[in-house]
Structure 1
Amino acid sequence: MMMIMRRWLTALLLSASTLCSFTAHAEPTVSIVFMGDVMLADHPGQRIKQGHNPFAPFAQLLDSADVRVANLECVIARGGKAEDKPYTFRAHPRVLKLLKRHMDAVSVANNHSGDFGRTAFAEMLGRLDQAKLPFFGGGQDLSQAHTPLLIERKGLRIALLGYDEFFPRSFEAGDKHPGVAWSEDEQVVLDIRRARTVHHADIVIPFMHWGEEHQPRANDRQRELARLMIDAGADAVVGTHPHVVQDIELYQGKPIVYSLGNFIFDGFDDADNNTAWVLRLNVDRKGVRDAHIQVGRIDRHGTPHPAGQPIPINLGPAMPLP
């Protein structure tokens, strides 16, 4: 009897192990980390030239993720001519080495990608390609700008889309010229649906550049568009641009993080502008399974430092704001 019991227990354990292995294979979980605005010109760029690494305080957290994504709030180029606008950001190509080390993808869909004209923007896209650092939210033409970046991890196919809603719109990509993806509702909905049906994505996440600067809560336009994107099939919506963090909303059981604030950025005095959120989403084929935010504090050099423990985002019906 004892021998039979041992055989039965062994078979049960093997069956459980096989079942767990099958379940893990059938439902892989992938961690995606999103950062806010990364500006590597001006003082952060000067410190990089001196050998400093502004990503270093967050390196352990970033290295623990399967996919790392940020909004690249500058053009990386040597050429081009500054546009007539209050702030223009152009980083030296030397910063690409650090970006490649700490990022798996960058969004170029923002109002500073065109600061030095289309020539500099096209140069940056070429340099990103050369560095093998994928980008989205912009391209050499309109078609590329609206094509999702597909990242595959553990058999899970993730589509990232990027859109700019902050002027000047004159830097929108065209049929025959480079630029960013502008946020037109009908086109955004079409892009999300195509990410599913044409590109066969398991997970679709739009990364937005939108909202009003220095406002702690999302405006009506952001809320309307975010819900439209989720109705179209997005699994989550993440935003940047206001230079402060904004509120979080749960819609149809899916998280909307309206603004992550700055990540690497100098030139701000207020604590709100120097607060960074790093968002971690754990996803599988059913969508976002859990999420949390690591708060960061940005020092006078524009470098973020982790502050406190990660804050879980409640994906249940009574989600509090962190």
Structure 2
Amino acid sequence: MKKTLLFWGLSLVLLSGLMAQDKLKMIFVGDIMGHGPQIESAAIEANKLYDYSPCFKFIAPLLAQSDLAIGNLELTLPGKPPYTGYPTFKSPDELPLALRAAGFDLLVTANNHSNDGGLLGVQNTVKTLEKNGFYQTGTFIDSSYRAALYPLIVYKGSFKLAFLNYTYGTNGIPTPKPAVVNVIDEKVIKADIEAAKAHQPDAIITFVHWGDEYQLTENERQRSLAKKMLDWGSTMVIGSHPHVVQPIKTYPLPQADSTMRNGLVVYSMGNFISAQTKIYTDIGLMVEIELEKNASTQKTAISKTEYIPVYRYLYRAPGAAKSTYMTLPVAAFENGLMATQQPMSEATRAAMKQSADVIRKNLTQFGAIERKVSAEEILQSTEK
């Protein structure tokens, strides 16, 4: 009898493990910026020592719930001063250190600021991210590096994922040889998706830096390219660059076997953290996407998509010499329930909620669903 119970116990454990591996939760965030005020805020000793960890204190509990956390790193890491913000973004290496500690796993680096630091900036960004344990793609040390490591293939549990990344341009700064920055070229993207399909991944995730800055609606070029990339085989398209939130949309796609699949496009997640002050640039998204694999057919589909509005908060503690940039989940803070953990004036809270509600309305009209993050969910983790 004991042997029978032991057998069934082991079977249940193994079955439970298999079922758990058949779902994969990813969290995507928008533009991780490095403006001058952010660099100054993080400085403990200018040009020598920086601390960005307070920026992500209230986001780390959410990242910890994912199997993969992914962001767009819109800056370069030259590895030495001078560190600068707009128009040429060069940040200290302590920033990726803090991002890794907060729970990020993968950073894409093809954007209009990829070449801000010249050859050193491109190459050292790749090396620094690798040194800190990140998956990274979009920019490469040289063409042989790209040939060997692109598409980026990531294994997680029972899932194999392919990641691609492209930018519309690099602000007119030519990519310094021998470095490579992926730019939008439809023939190249189609070929890269075909190369990704040859790996037989469970999902192909394509990141694109595109669109019109500060516009809450995607343009026709985005829609056209998104549809092509889905038709070519991308499971989802994740967008960045506008610095404000644009819609999340699902497109039904007929398949060769007469079935249908849903292709997902997140047109822009806005800023994750920045020092921009234009309207709605202080509100961004974390987008949680769950993949589910059918254990019998081994087919994978998107089973859940939810968004979490986040707010860039600038806080100066009483008596402090300078302010701290923070990213906060809006729902946990908008009702004042986190006041003992993180003070916020009523005027700031009202402004945060007003901006977030505009974004929510824009997303809801296309069927996007918000995951309401509670204050308790954040408190339980930050108080440990």
TM-score range, shorter chain: 0.7 to 0.9
Which amino acid is the alignment partner of residue 309 of structure 2?
A: V
Q: Give the match for residue 263 of structure 1.
A: 272
| Deviation string, structure 1 residues 91-119 (Cα, Å, up to 9, x no partner) | 01122311222310101110112112122
With over 3 angstroms needed to count, the CA separation of the structure-2 counterparts of 1:144 and 1:206, relative to structure 1, is farther
1:293 equivalent in alignment to 2:294: no
SS in 1 for 2:302: strand
SS in 2 for 1:159: strand
Conserved? CA contact 2:30–2:268, under 8 Å: yes
1:289: Cα distance to partner? Answer: 1.0
For 2:240 and 2:136, how far apart are their aligned partners in 1?
Answer: 16
1:154: Cα distance to partner? Answer: 1.0
Which amino acid is the alignment partner of residue 99 of structure 1?
A: L
Conserved? CA contact 2:247–2:366, under 8 Å: no
Q: Give the match for residue 308 of structure 1.
A: 331
| Deviation string, structure 1 residues 238-260 (Cα, Å, up to 9, x no partner) | 10100100012211222111000
1:215 equivalent in alignment to 2:215: yes
Q: Pick the aligned partner of 2:290 from 265, 282, 301.
A: 282
Which amino acid is the alignment partner of residue 265 of structure 2?
A: I
Conserved? CA contact 2:39–2:83, under 8 Å: no
For 1:191 and 1:82, how far apart are their aligned partners in 2?
Answer: 34
For 1:126 and 1:223, how far apart are their aligned partners in 2?
Answer: 34
Q: How does 1:176-215 map to 2 (within 5 A)?
A: 177-197=178-198, 199-215=199-215
With over 3 angstroms needed to count, the CA separation of the structure-2 counterparts of 1:101 and 1:56, relative to structure 1, is same
Q: Give the match for residue 105 of structure 1.
A: 106
For 1:130 and 1:234, how far apart are their aligned partners in 2?
Answer: 29
Which amino acid is the alignment partner of residue 273 of structure 1?
A: T
Unaligned runs of at least 5 residues, structure 1: 1-9
Q: Pick the aligned partner of 1:24 from 2, 19, 22.
A: 19
For 1:119 and 1:96, how far apart are their aligned partners in 2?
Answer: 17
With over 3 angstroms needed to count, the CA separation of the structure-2 counterparts of 1:302 and 1:278, relative to structure 1, is same
With over 3 angstroms needed to count, the CA separation of the structure-2 counterparts of 1:221 and 1:307, relative to structure 1, is same
1:319: Cα distance to partner? Answer: 5.0
Which segment drifts farther, 180-189 or 36-45?
Answer: 36-45
For 1:73 and 1:162, how far apart are their aligned partners in 2?
Answer: 13
Which segment drifts farther, 123-132 or 220-229?
Answer: 123-132
1:60 equivalent in alignment to 2:68: no
For 2:81 and 2:36, how far apart are their aligned partners in 1?
Answer: 17
Conserved? CA contact 1:262–1:273, under 8 Å: yes
Q: Give the match for residue 127 of structure 2.
A: 126
Conserved? CA contact 2:306–2:368, under 8 Å: no
Q: Give the match for residue 136 of structure 2.
A: 135
For 2:12 and 2:366, how far apart are their aligned partners in 1?
Answer: 35
Conserved? CA contact 2:78–2:120, under 8 Å: no
1:168 equivalent in alignment to 2:168: no
For 1:247 and 1:319, how far apart are their aligned partners in 2?
Answer: 7
1:46: Cα distance to partner? Answer: 2.9
1:224: Cα distance to partner? Answer: 0.6
For 2:132 and 2:240, how far apart are their aligned partners in 1?
Answer: 25
1:18: Cα distance to partner? Answer: 8.6
The number of equivalent residue pairs is: 302
Which amino acid is the alignment partner of residue 138 of structure 1?
A: T
1:44 equivalent in alignment to 2:38: yes
For 2:275 and 2:305, how far apart are their aligned partners in 1?
Answer: 28
1:169: Cα distance to partner? Answer: 5.5
| Deviation string, structure 1 residues 2-23 (Cα, Å, up to 9, x no partner) | xxxxxxxx9xx98x95995486
| Deviation string, structure 1 residues 202-223 (Cα, Å, up to 9, x no partner) | 1110011100001111101100
1:141: Cα distance to partner? Answer: 2.4
| TM-score normalised by L of structure 2 | 0.70
Conserved? CA contact 2:31–2:72, under 8 Å: yes
For 2:127 and 2:13, how far apart are their aligned partners in 1?
Answer: 46
Output the aligned Cα RMSD.
3.2
1:148 equivalent in alignment to 2:156: no
For 1:170 and 1:60, how far apart are their aligned partners in 2?
Answer: 38
| Deviation string, structure 1 residues 59-107 (Cα, Å, up to 9, x no partner) | 1001110001100011011359999x96111001122311222310101
For 1:222 and 1:273, how far apart are their aligned partners in 2?
Answer: 20
With over 3 angstroms needed to count, the CA separation of the structure-2 counterparts of 1:81 and 1:224, relative to structure 1, is farther
For 1:127 and 1:64, how far apart are their aligned partners in 2?
Answer: 25
Conserved? CA contact 2:276–2:282, under 8 Å: no
Aligned residues with identical type, % of pairs: 25
SS in 1 for 2:286: strand
For 2:145 and 2:167, how far apart are their aligned partners in 1?
Answer: 15
| Deviation string, structure 1 residues 277-304 (Cα, Å, up to 9, x no partner) | 0001101341211110000111235422
With over 3 angstroms needed to count, the CA separation of the structure-2 counterparts of 1:194 and 1:38, relative to structure 1, is same
Conserved? CA contact 1:171–1:180, under 8 Å: no
